[in-house]
Copies of this chain bind each other. A is one copy, B any other.
Amino acid sequence: MITGKNYIGDRLSSLGKVIYKTINPKLNVENPTDFFEATSEEIGQAVQLAWEAFSVYRRTPGSQRASFLNAIADEILALDHELVDCYTSESGLPEGRAIGERGRTVGQLRSFATLISNEDWRENTFDAAEPDRSPMPKADLRKTLVPLGPVAVFGASNFPLAFSAAGGDTASALAVGCPVIVKAHPMHLGTSELVSGAIIKAAKKTGMPNGVFSSVIGGKEAGMSLVNHPHVKAVGFTGSLGGGRALFDLAAKRREPIPVFAEMGSVNPVIITPNAISKRSSAISDSYAASITLGAGQFCTSPGLLLTIAGEETDNFVRDLADKTIQVEAQCMLHPNIKNGFEAHGAEVIDQSGVSIVAAHTGAQVNYADPKIAMVSGSDFLANPQMGQEVFGPFSLVVKAEDEAQLVEIVNNLEGQLTGTIIAEDNDGLNLTTLVDAMEQKVGRIIFNGVPTGVEVCPSMHHGGPYPASTDSRFTAVGADAIKRWVRPVSYQSFPKTLLPNSLKTK
């Protein structure tokens, strides 16, 4: 049962007077539950509990934390159709997506559990003493990684499970011994409460300290009190540039600044060479019509910018792509606000001088998105950086460069991106080395002859990128290395074995 309350540690709490409601975007009605905004008192309690839990939790053996993560996965699966129903009613996303995303979430939890089942993740190093070294003896030195402390996690609108209460940020932080306080995304508070309940159950079953996890409801103010709390030591965020940057600025202004990893989306540029168009126009337009509209374009890796070179075949390709894109059935967006943002930001780009719509349906149901493809010349695009903004939804802007040199110039002028893609022939007319080199400077992941949507969870995945794709290009939100955001090294010099952390006693 969904209560609408905050989890302050293992206690349900509803001291606040402000009520939040979620919306069923398909039906365009409010869902029944009243959700209670967390008061600053409740947020303070949650952080204090996390701080107290930290002193115990950071010392738990990896095997116990692994059991905890696996138990969370089990409890999430045990929620079964209650979770799937709540997810779909709050997000407008189809059941298949709910089940798929649940699988991803559970998979992430289990893969972090596997990661910490031994101590390799601590990257321990050992330097033996050299007491006879001249002119100065060398001391025994050993280094390990330790958790930073309580982490505040901000759930994403577009991944109610995989980047929310028990998503990648939470799983990676809990894995290394950091307690987590989640600020639930206001668009899916019921889903968040169900998952938070699963985490609390798992914590109890596996004997974790109270406070290892809390979940609070609120808006900007709640987020600010979390980030400003002296016992919060790091922040994970997935969402808009505006939101991520605001938290980053806040954290940087603290007396003790703390790291914020904000993954803030991207237009994910795709270079499509004339040669590739010439050879397989139809296959490319098929795959891109699908990628642009996947999940109503509500992915941070959605391809929002297609870069090519002007020509007759290009024009044919763009028309073909646009036709196929608008033939994709309109899909429900996550929330009326997301739908409104899609329309408003799309209109902003389309209103810029030189931009024309290639094709767009209209007349979709309320909260459903009509896919759109727009087009602009390379020169107009270069002259107006506003065209490079993200339009969150099934929208893509095709930029037709005059020639190869202008294409490279466009890439060189891009802002930082999560991904960049190159669609080309193996023996392409263009200098692919130059294009790859230019793209590498702008992105965290480059795809060759594929689509950017679909973020594999594996060691070689990097999900991050130069600003504004993320606030720190050196870290990733997906994959095993996601834990590196929450740990710091400590060296032990000349320590007796009895006082060393267990993982440093092995040599």
Q: Which residues of A contact B (CB under 8 A)?
A: 55, 59, 125-127, 136, 138-139, 141-143, 146, 148, 248-249, 252-253, 256-257, 259, 415-416, 426, 432-433, 436-437, 440, 443-450, 454, 456, 458-462, 464, 466-468, 471-474, 476, 481, 484, 487-496, 498-499
What CA separation (Å) do A249 and B251 show in the bound complex? 11
Q: Contacts A126-B460, A493-B448; is A252 near B256 (CB within 8 Å)?
A: no
Q: A252-B252, A462-B491 are in contact. List 16 more A-B contacts (CB 8 A).
A: A59-B437, A127-B460, A139-B447, A141-B460, A256-B416, A256-B468, A259-B472, A426-B498, A436-B499, A444-B490, A445-B490, A447-B494, A464-B488, A466-B488, A474-B489, A481-B489
What CA separation (Å) do A146 and B148 show in the bound complex? 26
What CA separation (Å) do A433 and B496 show in the bound complex? 11
Q: Contacts A139-B456, A460-B127, A494-B448; is A257 near B471 (CB within 8 Å)?
A: yes
A466 to B: closest C-beta gap in Å: 8
In the complex formed, the residue of B with least CB distance to A496 is B426
Give the 3 A-B CB pairs with smallest separation, nearest first: A252-B252, A141-B460, A445-B491
A364 to B: closest C-beta gap in Å: 28
Chain B residues, CB < 8 A from A492: 445-446, 448
Which of B141, B440, B461 sits near A456, CB closer than 8 Å? B141
Contacting pair B488 A141 (CB below 8 A): no
Chain B residues, CB < 8 A from A464: 488-489
In the complex formed, the residue of B with least CB distance to A416 is B256
In the complex formed, the residue of B with least CB distance to A467 is B256
A411 to B: closest C-beta gap in Å: 13
| Copies of this chain held together in the complex | 2
In the complex formed, the residue of B with least CB distance to A245 is B257
Which of B126, B432, B474, B493 sits near A446, CB closer than 8 Å? B493
Q: Could you jot down 18 A-B contacts, CB within 8 Å?
A: A59-B437, A125-B459, A127-B459, A127-B460, A127-B461, A141-B458, A141-B460, A256-B468, A257-B471, A436-B499, A445-B491, A445-B493, A447-B493, A462-B491, A464-B488, A466-B488, A474-B484, A474-B489
What CA separation (Å) do A405 and B353 show in the bound complex? 70
Chain B residues, CB < 8 A from A473: 148, 488
In the complex formed, the residue of B with least CB distance to A136 is B454
Chain B residues, CB < 8 A from A142: 460
Chain B residues, CB < 8 A from A436: 499
What CA separation (Å) do A205 and B460 show in the bound complex? 37
What CA separation (Å) do A143 and B479 show in the bound complex? 11
Contacting pair A432 B257 (CB below 8 A): no
Contacting pair B489 A444 (CB below 8 A): yes
A127 to B: closest C-beta gap in Å: 4
What CA separation (Å) do A127 and B455 show in the bound complex? 13
A70 to B: closest C-beta gap in Å: 23
Q: Contacts A143-B461, A445-B490, A491-B462; is A456 near B126 (CB within 8 Å)?
A: no
Q: Contacts A259-B472, A462-B143, A499-B436; is A444 near B493 (CB within 8 Å)?
A: no
Contacting pair B460 A499 (CB below 8 A): no
Chain B residues, CB < 8 A from A495: 446, 448
A71 to B: closest C-beta gap in Å: 26
Chain B residues, CB < 8 A from A488: 444, 464, 466, 473-474
Contacting pair B490 A446 (CB below 8 A): yes
Contacting pair A489 B476 (CB below 8 A): yes
A436 to B: closest C-beta gap in Å: 5
Which of B146, B450, B493 sits near A494, CB closer than 8 Å? B450
Chain B residues, CB < 8 A from A487: 474
What CA separation (Å) do A136 and B148 show in the bound complex? 36
Which of A127, A141, A443, A494 counts the most B-chain CB atoms under 10 A from its CB? A141
Contacting pair B491 A460 (CB below 8 A): yes
What CA separation (Å) do A464 and B491 show in the bound complex? 10
Chain B residues, CB < 8 A from A498: 426
Q: Contacts A146-B440, A448-B492, A493-B446; is A474 near B257 (CB within 8 Å)?
A: no
Contacting pair B474 A490 (CB below 8 A): no
In the complex formed, the residue of B with least CB distance to A100 is B135
What CA separation (Å) do A135 and B257 show in the bound complex? 44
In the complex formed, the residue of B with least CB distance to A124 is B460
A229 to B: closest C-beta gap in Å: 15
Contacting pair B499 A433 (CB below 8 A): yes
A178 to B: closest C-beta gap in Å: 13
Contacting pair A444 B491 (CB below 8 A): yes
Q: Contacts A448-B492, A489-B462; is A257 near B141 (CB within 8 Å)?
A: no
Contacting pair A143 B459 (CB below 8 A): yes
Q: Contacts A146-B440, A490-B444, A499-B448; is A474 near B259 (CB within 8 Å)?
A: yes
